[in-house]
Amino acid sequence: MRKLENLQALIATSVEKLAYPVYPAELYEPIKYILAIGGKRMRPALLLMACDLFGGDVEAALPPALAIEVFHNFTLMHDDIMDNAPKRRGRATVHEKWNNNVAILSGDVMLIEGYKLMMQVRNDLLHQVLDIFNDTAVGVCEGQQLDMTFETSNNITIAEYINMIRLKTAVVLGGALKIGALIGNADQTDADLLSDFGVNLGIAFQLQDDILDVYGDPEKFGKQVGGDIISNKKTYLLLKAQELSGSDELNTWLATAQFDAAEKVAAVTAIYNKVDVRRHAEAEMQAYAEKAFTALEKINLPEDSKQYLRDFADGLLVREY
């Protein structure tokens, strides 16, 4: 079995080789630019990993893996407009460097280029792989819409929140794994189980991200600790604390427009601690991790391949606090 970091490196060098026309420059330069910003290339690497685990030809899985990466970067380009984000990984976002219109239209072309790459799959898999890609793509858009809707909505249930993170971040992991498995000649049942593994792992990972935002080690988290609290982001922790907390103190903080950031983070964290929200969040995360492992155990793969997947999941979920 190939190491995940080797697959990520293979994706990185293959992304560099993707060729786009030079004309019209405003359409294709932003595509090269955002793809060069980089990232962990985790989604496409998972596709290759799934193919490899089932003994498939990783080279044959490369164009669909690149499709997943191009698609992912299309969503980033459009999300950055919608979120009004000036920076991505320290570089100016496309709409900042060029303008909104360029980012809209380049993103549109990236989605089409994603389809072109995804179509470079064996013909007997074409229809099924594109069905999975379509469902994944629609899911990501639905998740992004729900994420935006929730920003200005005040009675989000935890079930709605879990559904949102499932759509926005988890289905693409499941989709990538399923496509990779099918290219590796996995049977339908195993491909579906690997997809379940990916979706539930993705939800667990996102819940962990919510926990780390509050309880993470600032040195290791890589983002501003308390960022979700400062921006009133409706994470699992906030929704659960609202459910558990009898007092109005939490809602008062949410409604206060002028505040000292450190003071708000400390006060809201204290409320979280009082109702023990971290324990609830960890239990929820664990529940999704267990769903992932349950699906994994059912897959018809040799023990060493399953151990590879378990190690991968553990590495993803046990991050430093």
Instruction: Summarize as ranges the residues that interact with its own copies (CB under 8 A).
Output: 24, 26-27, 78, 81-82, 100-102, 104-105, 107-109, 111-113, 115-116, 119, 123, 126-127, 130-131, 134, 137-138, 141-142, 144-146, 148-149
Rounded distance, CA 200 to CA 293, Å? 9
Question: DSSP 3-state assignment of 88?
Answer: strand
The pair of three-digit structure tokens given for residue 116, joined into one six-digit string: 């072109």
CB of 112 to its own copies, least distance (A): 5
Between strands 91-92 and 87-88, the pairing is antiparallel
CB of 104 to its own copies, least distance (A): 6
Phi, psi (deg, nearest 5) at residue 88: -140, 120
Q: Kindly tell me which of 134 and 300 has the beta carbon lying closer to its own copies.
A: 134
| Tokens of residue 113, six digits | 């280029």
Nearest distance from residue 90's CB to its own copies, in Å?
24
Give strand pairing partners of 308: none
Quick check: helix, strand or coil at residue 286? helix
Which one, of 230, 237, 319, lies nearest residue 276 by Cα?
Answer: 237
Residue 166 or 278 with smaller CB distance to its own copies: 166
Pick 149 or 189: Cβ nearer its own copies = 149
Whose Cβ is closer to its own copies: residue 104's or residue 316's?
104
The residue (of 98 and 253) whose beta carbon lies closer to its own copies is: 98
Tell me which H or E stretch contains 218: helix 218-221
* Shortest reach from residue 52's CB to its own copies, in Å: 26
- Say which residue the tokens 């099924």 belong to: 128
Question: Least distance from C-beta 261 to its own copies, angstroms?
Answer: 26
